């Protein structure tokens, strides 16, 4: 009876030791430290790049649109915080006497074009 009890304790000890080793193996990090920092993507649209890096209202820059090759004048009309908390900037794109506006808003670590909800306050009816 003492012999059977001794084998039972040894079996229990082995089971506990195996469980501890299994759990210890789960905690090992063999890949080393991770760096999940993702650099913001380069901005290929010059209008979005201007809005993202432009100065205050009235700032201007001349750029070439890659889609058409057309040289246009960009002017930062206004910058404001949207109801979502995102920073938004309205950019007037003008060439050859005609102009149109584009709205660009911050999104995470970058910027994206947004649909304006209202016409610019700087334009007439």
In three state form, how does the secondary structure of the chain look?
Answer: CHHHHHHHHHHHHHHHHHHHHHHHHHCCCCCCCCCCCCCCCCCCCHHHHHHHHCCCCCCEEEEECCCCCCEEEEEEEEEEECCCCCEEEEEEEEECCEEEEEEEEEECCEEEEECCCCCCCCCCC
pLDDT > 70: percent of the chain: 59
Q: Does position 90 have pLDDT exceeding 60, yes or no?
A: yes
Q: Sketch the domain layout of the chain as residue ranges.
A: 1-30, 46-114
Q: Does position 53 have pLDDT exceeding 60, yes or no?
A: yes
> Which band of pLDDT confidence, cut at 50, 70 and 90, is reported for residue 95?
confident
**pLDDT tens-place string over residues 97-122:** 889 999 999 988 889 998 876 655 44
> Considering only CA atoms, which of 60, 53, 107 is closest in space to residue 85?
107
> Alpha-carbon distance 100 to 123, whole Å?
11
- Residue 118 to residues 4, 27, 82, 103, 110: CA-CA distances in angstroms? 85, 54, 12, 11, 23
Q: Taking all residues of the chain, what is their mean pLDDT, rounded to a whole number?
A: 74
pLDDT, mean of residues 53-77: 91
């Amino acid at each position: 009876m003492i012999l059977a009890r001794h084998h039972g304790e040894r079996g229990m000890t082995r089971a506990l030791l195996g469980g501890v080793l299994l759990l210890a193996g789960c905690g090992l990090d063999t890949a080393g430290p991770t760096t999940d920092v993702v650099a913001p993507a380069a901005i290929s649209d010059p209008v979005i790049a201007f809005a993202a890096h432009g100065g205050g209202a009235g700032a201007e820059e001349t750029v070439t649109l890659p889609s058409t090759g057309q040289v246009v004048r960009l002017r930062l009309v206004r910058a404001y915080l949207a109801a979502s908390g995102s920073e938004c900037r309205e950019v007037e794109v003008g060439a050859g006497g005609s102009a149109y506006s584009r709205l660009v808003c911050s999104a995470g670590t970058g910027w994206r074009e947004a649909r304006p909800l209202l016409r610019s306050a700087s334009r007439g009816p």
